[in-house]
A = this chain, B = another copy of it.
Amino acid sequence: MALGKDYATQDCSIARALEIVGERWTLLIVRDALYGVRRYNDFLVHLGIPRAVLAARLQTLTTEGILVKHRYQQSPPRDEYVLTERGTALWPTLRSLGLWGREHFGERKLRVFRHAGCGTELGAYGECPACGTVVPVADVEMVPGPGVDPHPADPVGRALLRPKRLLEPLEVEPA
């Protein structure tokens, strides 16, 4: 959000958190990272974010320890941005935010999250109603819901139509 300066006076964990992930686009980048997006260009086309802002956000998220930059190819040098444990810890927040958005403002169910292996749809707090346990992020399977656009314009959106686990790297076919 613009600047975090003023929140510093707040003496509150929520304000502290918002200083870091409260800026525009930041939580959407974390969401995409949870969905398996890792590369600069994939964030770019999927979010439609200005390049300068994306570069700034990736920089901030990296210095805050939410993403790590990892070179996955030497020549030409290519880096990918991967969530740390601190980053994946935002899953419950994003989950409840998304649930709130759909319940109160969205008509259609766009994505369904299930307990991989068990197949049961997750409850409101990310728990598996069948197993009675909180499902680790890596064991959450994401499948498209009935309301999703079946033909997204961007290749990242198309890649996300295939069922996959959270955090698992996304395979984007070249245009």
Give the interface of A toward B (CB within 8 A).
1-2, 6-7, 9-18, 20, 22-25, 27-28, 31, 47-49, 65, 86, 89-90, 92-94, 96-106, 110-111, 124-127, 148-149, 152, 157
Number of copies of this protein chain within its complex: 2
> What CA separation (Å) do A1 and B28 show in the bound complex?
12
Residue of B nearest to A157 (CB): B11
What 6 pairs across the A-B complex have the smallest Cβ distances? A17-B101, A1-B24, A125-B125, A13-B101, A13-B102, A13-B98
Q: Which residues of B contact A48 (CB under 8 A)?
A: 6, 9
Given the known inter-chain contacts A100-B90, A110-B11, please indicate yes or no for A27 contacting B16, CB distance below 8 A.
Answer: no
**Is A14 within 8 A of B103, CB to CB?**
no
> What CA separation (Å) do A139 and B100 show in the bound complex?
20
Q: Which residues of B contact A65 (CB under 8 A)?
A: 104
CB distance from A35 to the nearest CB of B (A): 10
**A–B complex contacts, Cβ < 8 Å, 12 sampled:** A1-B24, A10-B47, A13-B98, A13-B110, A14-B97, A14-B101, A16-B106, A17-B105, A20-B105, A22-B24, A93-B93, A125-B127
